[in-house]
Amino acid sequence: MKEQALREVLDSLTLEEKVGQLVQVTPDFFDASGAITGPMLEWTMSNQERYQSGSVLGTTEASQVREIQAQYLAQSRHKIPLLFMADVIHGYREIFPIPLALASSFDEELVQAVARVSAKEAAGEGIHVTFSPMADYVKDPRWGRVLESNGEDPLLSQRLTAAYVKGYQGDNLKDESSLAACVKHFIGYGAAEGGRDYNTVDFSDLVMYQDYLPSFRSALEAGAKLVMTAFNSVRGVPISGNQSLIQQVLREDLAFDGVLISDWAAIQELIAHRVAENQKEAATMAFKATVDMDMMTSCYQRELATIVTEQHLEHELDEAVWRVLTLKNELGLFENPYRGLDKLVATAELQEQAFEAAVKSAVLLKNEQVLPLQKNEKILLVGTKVATGDLLGAWSCVGDTAQTTSLASAFQTEFPQLTSIPLAADASDLAEKWPEIQTAALAADKVVIAVGEAGDEAGEAASKTSLRLKPQEVDLIQQLSQLNQHCIGVIFSGRPLVLTEVVDHLQGIIAPFFLGSQTSGALAALLSGRRDFSGRLAMGFPRHEGQLPYSYREMSTGRPETAANHGQRYLSNYLDEENDALYPFGYGLSYNTWEYQDITLSQEPLTKDAPISLRLTVTNQGTQTGSENIQLYFTDEVAQVIRPKIELLDWQLVSLAPGESREICFVIHSDQLAYVHQDLRRYPDSGRFQLHLGKNSREILASFIVEL
């Protein structure tokens, strides 16, 4: 529809009809069941109000969308199609690795491909908008929603967030296989105090601009059409009612002119925050903050028309409705309200992409010559994750754990001499099954112990104070290590865990996180050596919960602990634990050995107009084709505000056959060394910088000094 025609649609709407476009409901309002992702509030609507609503969230299949859309259009005076939205976080029906796992691939092309095929499948089921990607900067795995994040590094998050947006939206939003991306949660949700979901957030504007905004900027530059507000407060005001923050930062600094939607019931929750006395005050705060869509509360539906009339906000209402109508038009809904329905993606295409993503996301943390497993070996597979389909992780949309292949099934195909002994999810049957386990462990060449979090132990409303395995799982590992010296832990989780109780009892450790529908097949391929590990941690594993929040990007202090003064008093350290992570950001092993040679830095000076280059030759000295992640870090020696001791500058992925070598070149521009100053502007300083070429954020192979 052309702009003039769309303007005519807007002008033809009554006040109540305009308000309706800003109201989002679930399928339950149309007598159809939907996916519930928040508390249901008491809310009744008249038929007229129901058929003025602008959007629906939580449908689960194409037939449901078709029925609701047809019902709505038959009743609606202006036939403005409904928008259908869903949490397509890591797949729709075919489930891919959770974002935190996928981030461990460090692979922008892979992330974009996963988002593209996820969009195709969801669009075929009638979805128009996905509440993804999550751009929250995170450094506290006690917060369950780190599962949806891209990890602890802002640069990695920026690049992967943009890749998600490009994948979901494709080259043309009118393409019926595309989804509009809603980037979330603006802003600071990942900094909830104590890692407790929905909790207060308190950080400086400098920290917000330095760490928390870049991924949102990246998503919007990639074209994201919607932004979702966070549940938390910043500057003392909950985001959904924070007019100054949204206007200054989102609308002005980030120049966002698209649809801003609240999270589930967030406008109503302004009352619980005690910044609004009633629904009218809550609706007023949110509307003046330019929140365009009220997700699952009656605040706008009941109060907004009165607010607009009393406060003469007709122009602001038209602007909000215009943003919603524009989104519907960009999606092509006026031409075809049933866009994409039933255009299903081939199952083989989905499964192949999910398998590749799973293989590239798993991280090998430890291998003392116990992997890969050999086909002629006697393998014992034991643990709480052996026979379950609970391998998808939270936010798995309509993925079905009952249809997910178990580890036992996939491993039986891969390893003919496999013995599987599954335990209950809580390992409550460990004592009962111990005699059988003991006998099998003594007879086995190697023992694979599959344990970890249940799918609902991570994600929203899944905060924890303890990040350790269940006591029975720890007992299982420790007891088995006394019977067999070749124990491998496959430890599932939606977040980094504290593994200090078991790390010395295992000769091999794999962190798959949650890898999705193809988990079992991917792990069978990896453990057998048919495929090599290439994942590198996007978020480090802490030694103890007392370190949290933690990031490898720790700031310089006046009393830093160094190798020279390690263990002394009156330093920024702990009496009872090391400062760093057990397994740091960027860490991961592979079966192959990778040699870095001929590392050289170009001799020309680095200026604001001329880059420099760092070159090296990488050789695969292993016995199989594999991928290496070459990581480049930097340190700003002197800055106008405190800066991290080390931070990621760039990385490159290279896939090489056995014996193959390749020259790698990093081109370093001055703007890559920029940071946010006290005036909240981002630019580089002149001065000295250290460049660090490394295997991960801790294992540095070569360092260079450069001057800008």
Rg (CA), the chain: 26
The pair phi, psi for residue 224, each rounded to 5°, is -50, 135
> How far apart, in Å, are the Cα atoms of 683 and each of 47, 263, 651, 677?
55, 33, 21, 8
Measured CA to CA, the distance from residue 545 to residue 465 in angstroms comes to 7
Q: Which residue has the tokens 């159809």?
A: 32
Measured CA to CA, the distance from residue 68 to residue 618 in angstroms comes to 56
Measured CA to CA, the distance from residue 50 to residue 301 in angstroms comes to 10
Element (H, E) at 413: helix 407-414
Whether residue 263 lies in the annotated active site: yes
Residue 514 CA from chain centroid, whole number: 12
Q: Which residue has the tokens 């420099």?
A: 612
Which residue type sits at 426? D
Residue 390 CA from chain centroid, whole number: 19
Measured CA to CA, the distance from residue 524 to residue 530 in angstroms comes to 8
Measured CA to CA, the distance from residue 164 to residue 183 in angstroms comes to 10
The pair phi, psi for residue 52, each rounded to 5°, is -110, -5
The number of residues making up the chain comes to 708
Measured CA to CA, the distance from residue 421 to residue 54 in angstroms comes to 52
Which residue type sits at 685? D
End-to-end CA distance of the chain: 51
Which residue type sits at 559? R
Residues 351 and 94 sit within 8 Å (Cβ to Cβ):
yes
Measured CA to CA, the distance from residue 188 to residue 428 in angstroms comes to 39
The pair phi, psi for residue 199, each rounded to 5°, is -80, 170
Measured CA to CA, the distance from residue 305 to residue 297 in angstroms comes to 15
Across the chain, which distance is largest between two alpha carbons, in Å? 80
**DSSP conformational letter for 222:** T
Measured CA to CA, the distance from residue 379 to residue 418 in angstroms comes to 5
Bridge partners of 85, per DSSP, are 57, 129
Which residue type sits at 694? G
**Could you tell me where the DSSP H helices lie in 367-470?**
407-414, 430-443
| Catalytic member of 87, 153, 197, 263 | 263
Q: Which residues are catalytic?
A: 263
